[in-house]
């Protein structure tokens, strides 16, 4: 018996990086998974991987910035899987398209990060909450960031949205507690995903770096900031999300849990 047997999960932004890792770990722990992403091909590829683990998987594309799209996601997810137990709000961006080529965030970067990283959580949670409330049970896991714990020079637009994601999660935790729905946040540190490849490229452009590769820029940041000395992985985040989605965390709600090798300790 696996800890998530007979559970059903929806993961947004699951076509890449951390979201993919979460979808795969939830499936390994026994859950059937709706793999959602704005990129339909990426969602389909990860759904195929979930199926190869022996679980049911449905690729349902959705843009979390658009409430019509997240309402459709909720309707189709419930139709396909009958019920949804776990919602993971993972989709996130570092800015508007091409943000990594700008050394300073533009107004569009501020708007795009807010739309995806904050309103995305609000839209998707709003679309699923009636279903979860009716069933008087559910788990919501929001992926914030260590960047939401304190300001970051030159990346304030992103940090601000992650601080908001932590705060919004506390609000939903209070609002949904009477329905036995737990809402928690994970604050990851440094993971080498397509998002971080873009951050490294931006850092290289900003500093005029010509010798180090993006991966070396990442390694340097890791070494300078992380007491445990190793990068975190999508699988690490998946394991924490699985715990927060399981019966073992039934009295944990409104918390934001750092998963960062010790880089921030608040």
Residues making contact with ligand NAD (CB under 6 A):
12-13, 15-19, 37-39, 42, 63-65, 90-93, 116, 143, 145, 188, 190-191, 193-196
Q: Are the CB atoms for 22 and 100 separated by under 8 Å?
A: no
CA dist 204 and 116 (Å) reads: 25
CA dist 42 and 190 (Å) reads: 22
Of 39 and 134, nearer to ligand NAD (C-beta) is 39
Q: How far is the CB of 1 from ligand NAD (least distance, A)?
A: 30
Q: How far is the CB of 71 from ligand NAD (least distance, A)?
A: 14
264 is catalytic: no
Of 145 and 253, nearer to ligand NAD (C-beta) is 145
Q: What is the DSSP letter of 192?
A: -
Dump the DSSP string for 155-174. Answer: -HHHHHHHHHHHHHHHHHHH
Of 30 and 69, nearer to ligand NAD (C-beta) is 69
Q: How far is the CB of 165 from ligand NAD (least distance, A)?
A: 8
Which one of the listed residues 114, 158, 179, 264 is annotated catalytic?
A: 158
| 22 contact partners, CB below 8 Å, separation of at least 6 | 11, 14, 88, 90, 143, 234, 237, 238, 241
Q: How far is the CB of 111 from ligand NAD (least distance, A)?
A: 12
CA dist 72 and 67 (Å) reads: 8
Of 30 and 200, nearer to ligand NAD (C-beta) is 200
| 58 contact partners, CB below 8 Å, separation of at least 6 | 33, 34, 35, 47, 76, 77, 80, 81
Q: Which residues are catalytic?
A: 158
């Amino acid at each position: 018996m696996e800890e998530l047997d007979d559970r059903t999960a929806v993961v947004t932004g699951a076509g890449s990086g951390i979201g993919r890792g979460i979808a795969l770990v939830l499936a390994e722990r026994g859950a059937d998974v709706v793999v959602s992403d704005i990129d339909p091909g990426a969602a389909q590829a990860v759904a195929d991987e979930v199926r190869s683990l022996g679980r049911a998987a449905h690729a349902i594309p959705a843009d979390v910035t658009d409430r019509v799209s997240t309402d459709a996601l909720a309707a189709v997810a419930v139709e396909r899987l009958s019920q949804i137990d776990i919602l993971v709000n993972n989709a996130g961006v570092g800015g508007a398209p091409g943000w990594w080529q700008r050394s300073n965030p533009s107004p569009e970067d501020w708007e795009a990060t807010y739309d995806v990283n904050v309103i995305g959580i609000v839209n998707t949670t709003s679309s699923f909450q009636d279903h979860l409330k009716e069933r008087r049970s559910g788990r919501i896991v929001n992926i914030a960031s260590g960047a939401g714990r304190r300001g970051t020079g030159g990346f304030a637009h992103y940090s601000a949205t992650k601080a908001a994601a932590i705060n919004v999660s506390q609000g939903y935790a209070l609002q949904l507690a009477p329905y036995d729905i737990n809402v928690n946040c994970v604050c990851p540190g440094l993971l080498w995903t397509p998002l971080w490849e873009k951050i490294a490229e931006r850092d290289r452009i900003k500093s005029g770096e010509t010798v180090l590769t993006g991966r070396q820029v990442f390694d340097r940041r890791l070494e300078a900031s992380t007491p445990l000395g190793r990068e975190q992985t999508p699988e690490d985040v998946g394991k924490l999300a699985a715990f927060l989605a399981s019966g073992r965390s039934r009295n944990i709600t409104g918390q934001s849990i750092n998963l960062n090798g010790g880089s921030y300790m608040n």
